């Protein structure tokens, strides 16, 4: 093994610090990182997989893909953009990618702007304002997904919105009929603001009500205050890929984070709905609507300021 210099190690550690700011279902943070020979391996952490909501590891791979994108940005702004080898193999199922720093070059203004957005990005589960998202911002989000080999399909009208909202509602009801799912969700719903994982009470958003268009998950928030209804005409985007192999899911995760950071840079709030991805019949119906493999449903708009949820320390997720 070659000796890693102090500046090289600092570069790698900083990349991990950016990577762990990526989103993950219920903020489980299902990743691990390994430094070797000047490169950075990204691995899934099966101990943090949601075995009821995510039995096949789709959400783990999406989260790790998002972490890969953040790490790419950290390397880029340090002047050492990386080559990314996506490596899921049957004999090494947890090893997902290897990032190897390449020749030096200055970061682009776009890379710098997206990197600066990492620390400000968070999932906004609160009601959004009725202010429409301008066409320029919509186009930027679409470009961000396309840049990573995915597509963001924005719903064009109220009819399609109602259909997708119905799928979210039906999928959420299906999931909640399973006591094991409810127990798993409760396990990751925390009232302790000092927790370093899971969804804290102040980040959970208002509890769902029957009249809501889109069904939010219940993270133990209880009934909400009067006047805190959600918007009636949200902008909904569906992130899709052409196929659904392991590589496609890792690409979808990178596209998801590129979209989320682009939204953050444009002062937009985003929340994610994965219930119709978790329920196979709902996903099939969603696939019939969008014509490709759906990987995430996004609610996009303008909201009140918030803050990111906690993350585990870098030392807990890094070795080598």
pLDDT value for 7: 82
pTM: 0.93
Give the 3-state secondary structure of residue 281: helix
Give whole-number Cα distances, 269 to 7, 275, 303, 308, in Å.
36, 19, 6, 12
Q: Which two tokens stand for residue 280?
A: 């196979």
List, for the chain, all residue ranges whose pLDDT scores fall below the cut of 70: 1-3, 88, 191, 202-215, 217, 219-230, 232
The C-alpha atoms of residue 37 and residue 147 are separated, in whole angstroms, by 29
Tokens 């199922």, located at residue: 93
pLDDT tens string 242-284: 999 999 999 999 999 999 999 999 999 999 999 999 999 999 9
What is the edge-to-edge ordering of all strands in the sheet holding 39-44? 82-86, 95-101, 39-44, 31-36, 318-319
pLDDT value for 45: 98
Contact at 8 Å (CB) between 282 and 170? yes
């Amino acid at each position: 093994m070659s000796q890693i210099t102090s500046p090289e190690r600092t570069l790698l550690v900083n990349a991990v610090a950016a990577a762990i700011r990526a989103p993950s279902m219920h903020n489980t943070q299902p990743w691990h990182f390994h430094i070797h020979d000047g490169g950075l391996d990204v691995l899934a952490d099966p101990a943090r997989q949601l075995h009821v909501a995510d039995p096949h590891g789709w959400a783990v791979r999406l989260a790790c893909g998002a972490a890969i994108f953040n790490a790419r940005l950290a390397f880029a702004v340090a002047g050492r953009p990386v080559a990314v080898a996506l490596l899921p193999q049957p004999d090494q199922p947890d090893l997902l990618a290897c990032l190897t720093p390449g020749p030096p070059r200055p970061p682009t203004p776009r890379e710098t702007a997206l990197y600066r957005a990492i620390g400000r990005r968070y999932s906004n589960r609160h009601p959004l304002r009725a202010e429409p998202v301008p066409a320029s911002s919509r186009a930027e989000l679409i470009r961000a997904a396309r840049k990573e080999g995915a597509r963001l399909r924005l719903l064009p009208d109220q009819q399609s919105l109602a259909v997708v909202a119905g799928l979210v509602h039906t999928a959420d009801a299906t999931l909640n009929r399973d006591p094991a799912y409810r127990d798993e969700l409760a396990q990751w719903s925390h009232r302790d603001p000092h927790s370093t994982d899971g969804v804290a009470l102040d980040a959970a958003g208002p509890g769902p009500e029957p009249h809501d268009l889109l069904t939010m998950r219940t993270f133990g928030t209880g009934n909400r205050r009067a006047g805190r209804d959600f918007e009636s005409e949200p902008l909904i985007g569906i992130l899709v890929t052409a196929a659904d192999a392991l590589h496609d899911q890792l690409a979808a995760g990178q596209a998801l984070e590129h979209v989320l950071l682009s939204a953050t840079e444009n002062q937009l709030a985003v929340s994610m709905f994965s219930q119709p991805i978790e329920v196979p019949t709902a996903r099939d119906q969603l696939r019939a609507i969008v014509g490709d493999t759906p990987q995430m449903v996004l609610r996009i708009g303008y909201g009140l300021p918030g803050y990111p949820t906690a993350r585990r320390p870098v030392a807990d997720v890094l070795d080598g």
